[in-house]
């Protein structure tokens, strides 16, 4: 009898309170985002929870402000629930805590409750209508509470580890994710040879912002043309544009973006490839009345002098032809006897359709027979032909070089040091890198290198050149410019290339002893 009387009492109180607040009236005003309220509110959708759009979307398919909708019945229900909550007494703040704005917290498993008593079955619906949370009251009497999924301040969990960070650190200032492609297309998608089309992409980056977008388009015949995208100039826009002029007599058919490179201001980058992670809209069709799909043909090549002294001038002559658009570029490379040095040359068109190519080797270099390694020919439609020693015309071209100083050994890096060894990624910083390098004869010409973040942290790379401290000296100094939002952790020197004045080159990798223990930290 006691339970029934108690239930009737609660029911009467609930009816009077609900009636006094007019449930059927207009909905209660919504609490503005950021308002501090002790009462629970309806779930919020975080911008970071939106699903990424497929890269196959065209520009007009890109949604920049996704919204949530609900049915009329749902809205009425929410309004009624909101009013009931506002009429209830305030609960302790800990009972109404909601996950932070950074995203929804994971839900911990809840212990299976005991079967409800008769009192629970009678009173719980009434208590719910009044906004009274009986589960909190019951927990004070010994019921199990779900374990907290958020570390409390001062609990010792402030440095929660990230399995993707080898240094087991979590740093909100670190940007370890490259930019993301949302959409890509050409306008117009069909273009006449000699005319222009515009490549438009939508790209976003989570923290540091997009720095550069570049790539290469390729014709059905393999002709390639590079491009770089610029912002469309609209504030807050994520669109980038590049205007491409198609060569006259270009190969007819479907041209595609062979690859697209996206980089952010923290140094993260990604390369997208057509047919793998670039959409079909990253292509356009070329219509041509005189389509040229074949590269030039090498007809003959010879040296002005078969033998020479280092420091003297020589010349290579090339005869090439193209079936339609005509030859536009000719270049080549000689390789030293030990294949550690190379000398390149470019050509200009001379008389009788013969290309003339000056060769000016330095006065100090490796002596012996330098073999013609390759010749590259390109026509006006961008079709390329590369001819190597498997072609008899190239194989027979051998240059015999002699001299007083014959250097076939690349430079040696003796030591490497960094100062400072710790920088912050909150604002970025500069690390001075000092190298001591020697060369046995010709002298060191240049040093350059790259620094890398912790393994698996990101694919960020920071490239840096060196400058010689004093002319002819052995000390070289470079600057590693660590950008804002660079990945935190221990960075290493990935490699350093050392080149001497005789064009001998050696690449030192991270495993070489002189580089192995040279590290710095980003915090």
Kindly state whether residue 52 falls inside one of the protein's structural domains: no
Report residue 91's pLDDT band, with 50, 70 and 90 as the boundaries: very low
Same domain, residue pair 344 and 446:
no
**Backbone φ, ψ for residue 66 (5° rounding):** -65, 140
Q: What is the pLDDT of residue 458?
A: 86
Kindly state whether residue 516 falls inside one of the protein's structural domains: yes
Kindly state whether residue 1 falls inside one of the protein's structural domains: yes
- Choose the final residue of a domain: 381, 402, 423: 402
List, for residues 241-264, the tens digit of each pLDDT value: 999 999 999 999 999 999 999 999
Q: What is the pLDDT of residue 74?
A: 52
Kindly state whether residue 63 falls inside one of the protein's structural domains: no
Q: What is the pLDDT of residue 393?
A: 97
List, for residues 139-174, the tens digit of each pLDDT value: 333 333 333 333 333 333 333 344 444 444 457 889
DSSP readout, 296-325?
Answer: -EEEEEEES-SEEETT--EEEEEEEE-SSS
> Considering only 93-102, 127-136, 385-394, which range has the smallest mean pLDDT?
93-102
Q: What is the pLDDT of residue 398?
A: 97
Same domain, residue pair 81 and 15:
yes
- Choose the final residue of a domain: 252, 287, 322: 287
Q: Give me the count of residues in the chain.
A: 523
Q: What is the pLDDT of residue 11?
A: 44
Q: Residue 468: which domain range?
A: 412-522
pLDDT at 25 exceeding the cut of 90? no
Q: What is the pLDDT of residue 16?
A: 40
- Find the CATH number of the domain harbouring 253: 2.60.40.1930
Same domain, residue pair 279 and 388:
no
Q: Is the pTM of this model over 0.75?
A: no
Q: Which residue(s) pair with 262 in the sheet? A: 213, 270
Rounded Cα distance between 505 and 437, Å, is 13
> Considering only 16-25, 274-283, 398-407, 437-446, which range has the smallest mean pLDDT?
16-25
> Considering only 124-128, 216-220, 402-406, which range has the smallest mean pLDDT?
124-128
Q: Which helix (H) or strand (E) holds 500?
A: strand 489-500
Rounded Cα distance between 213 and 270, Å, is 10
Please provide the average confidence, as pLDDT, over all residues in the chain.
78
List, for residues 356-373, the tens digit of each pLDDT value: 999 999 999 999 999 999
Same domain, residue pair 397 and 416:
no
> Considering only 66-80, 146-160, 305-319, 464-478, which range has the smallest mean pLDDT?
146-160
Kindly state whether residue 237 falls inside one of the protein's structural domains: yes
The conformation of residue 105, written as its DSSP 8-state character, comes to P
Burial class (CB in 10 A: 0-12, 13-18, 19+), 505: middle
Over residues 64-91, the mean pLDDT reads 47
Kindly state whether residue 447 falls inside one of the protein's structural domains: yes
Report residue 456's pLDDT band, with 50, 70 and 90 as the boundaries: confident
Q: What is the pLDDT of residue 457?
A: 81
DSSP readout, 12-34?
Answer: HHHHHHHHHTTTTSPPPPPPPTT
**pLDDT-above-70 percentage for the chain:** 67
- Choose the final residue of a domain: 287, 320, 341: 287
Same domain, residue pair 274 and 316:
no
Same domain, residue pair 350 and 323:
yes
* Whole-Å CA distances, 78 to 43, 101, 246: 11, 21, 58
Q: What is the pLDDT of residue 472?
A: 84
Same domain, residue pair 262 and 398:
no
Q: Which range among 42-46, 198-202, 458-462 has the greatest average pLDDT?
A: 198-202
Same domain, residue pair 130 and 9:
yes
Report residue 219's pLDDT band, with 50, 70 and 90 as the boundaries: very high
Over residues 447-463, the mean pLDDT reads 92
Over residues 22-34, the mean pLDDT reads 39
Report residue 116's pLDDT band, with 50, 70 and 90 as the boundaries: low
* Cβ atoms < 10 Å from Cβ of 188: 12
Same domain, residue pair 264 and 306:
no
Closest CA to 40 of 84, 99, 98: 98
Kindly state whether residue 148 falls inside one of the protein's structural domains: no
**Backbone φ, ψ for residue 185 (5° rounding):** -165, 160
Q: What is the pLDDT of residue 358?
A: 97
Same domain, residue pair 211 and 277:
yes
pLDDT at 105 exceeding the cut of 80? no
Number of domains in the chain: 4
List, for residues 474-522, the tens digit of each pLDDT value: 999 999 999 999 999 999 999 999 999 999 999 999 999 999 999 999 9
Same domain, residue pair 237 and 319:
no
Rounded Cα distance between 326 and 260, Å, is 29
Same domain, residue pair 283 and 310:
no
Rounded Cα distance between 373 and 336, Å, is 9
Kindly state whether residue 222 falls inside one of the protein's structural domains: yes
Over residues 442-450, the mean pLDDT reads 96
* Whole-Å CA distances, 353 to 282, 314, 388, 447, 494: 38, 20, 22, 40, 47
Report residue 39's pLDDT band, with 50, 70 and 90 as the boundaries: very low
Distance of CA 498 to the CA centre of its chain: 28
């Amino acid at each position: 009898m006691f339970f029934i009387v108690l239930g009737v009492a609660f029911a009467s109180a609930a009816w009077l309170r609900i009636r006094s607040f007019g449930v059927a009236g207009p909905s209660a005003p919504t609490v503005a985002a950021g308002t501090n309220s002790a009462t629970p509110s309806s779930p919020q959708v975080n911008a970071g929870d939106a699903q990424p759009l497929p890269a196959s979307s065209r520009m007009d398919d890109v949604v920049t402000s996704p919204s949530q909708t609900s049915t009329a019945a749902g809205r009425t229900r929410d309004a009624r629930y909101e009013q009931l909550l506002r009429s209830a007494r305030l609960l302790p703040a800990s009972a109404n805590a909601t996950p932070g704005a950074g995203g929804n917290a994971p839900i911990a498993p809840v212990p299976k409750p005991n079967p409800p008593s008769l009192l629970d079955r009678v009173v719980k619906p009434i208590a719910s209508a009044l906004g009274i949370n009986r589960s909190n009251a019951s927990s004070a009497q010994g019921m199990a509470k779900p374990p907290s999924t958020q570390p409390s301040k001062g609990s010792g969990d402030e440095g929660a580890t990230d399995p993707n960070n080898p240094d087991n650190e979590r740093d909100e200032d670190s940007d370890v994710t490259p930019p993301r492609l949302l959409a890509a297309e050409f306008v117009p998608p069909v273009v006449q040879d000699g005319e222009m089309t515009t490549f438009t992409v939508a790209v976003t980056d989570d923290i540091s912002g997009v720095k550069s977008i570049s790539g290469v388009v390729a014709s059905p015949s393999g002709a390639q043309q590079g491009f770089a995208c610029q912002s469309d100039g609209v504030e807050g826009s994520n669109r980038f544009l590049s205007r491409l002029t198609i060569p006259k007599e270009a190969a007819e058919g479907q041209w595609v973006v062979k690859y697209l490179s996206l980089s952010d201001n923290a140094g993260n980058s990604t390369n997208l490839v057509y047919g793998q992670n670039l959409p079909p809209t990253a292509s356009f069709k070329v219509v041509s009345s005189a389509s040229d799909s074949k590269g030039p043909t090498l007809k003959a090549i010879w040296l002005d002098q078969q033998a020479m002294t280092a420091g003297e001038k020589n010349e290579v002559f090339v005869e090439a032809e193209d079936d339609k658009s005509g030859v536009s570029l000719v270049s080549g490379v000689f390789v030293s006897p030990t294949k550690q040095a190379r000398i390149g040359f470019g050509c200009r068109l001379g008389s009788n359709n013969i290309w003339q190519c000056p060769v000016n080797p330095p006065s100090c270099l490796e002596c012996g027979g330098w073999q013609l390694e390759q010749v590259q020919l390109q026509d006006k439609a961008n079709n390329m032909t590369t001819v190597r020693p498997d072609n008899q015309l190239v194989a027979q071209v051998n240059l015999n070089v002699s001299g007083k100083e014959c250097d076939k050994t690349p430079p040696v890096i003796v030591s490497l040091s960094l100062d400072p060894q710790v920088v912050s990624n909150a604002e970025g910083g500069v690390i001075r890198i000092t190298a001591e390098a020697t060369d046995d004869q010709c002298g060191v010409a240049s040093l350059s290198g790259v620094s890398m973040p912790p393994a698996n942290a990101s694919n960020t790379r920071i490239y840096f050149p060196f400058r010689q401290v004093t002319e002819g000296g052995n000390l070289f100094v470079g600057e590693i410019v660590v950008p804002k939002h660079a990945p935190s952790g221990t960075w290493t020197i990935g490699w350093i290339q050392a080149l001497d004045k005789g064009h001998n080159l050696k690449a030192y990798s991270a495993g070489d002893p002189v580089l192995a223990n040279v590290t710095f930290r980003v915090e």
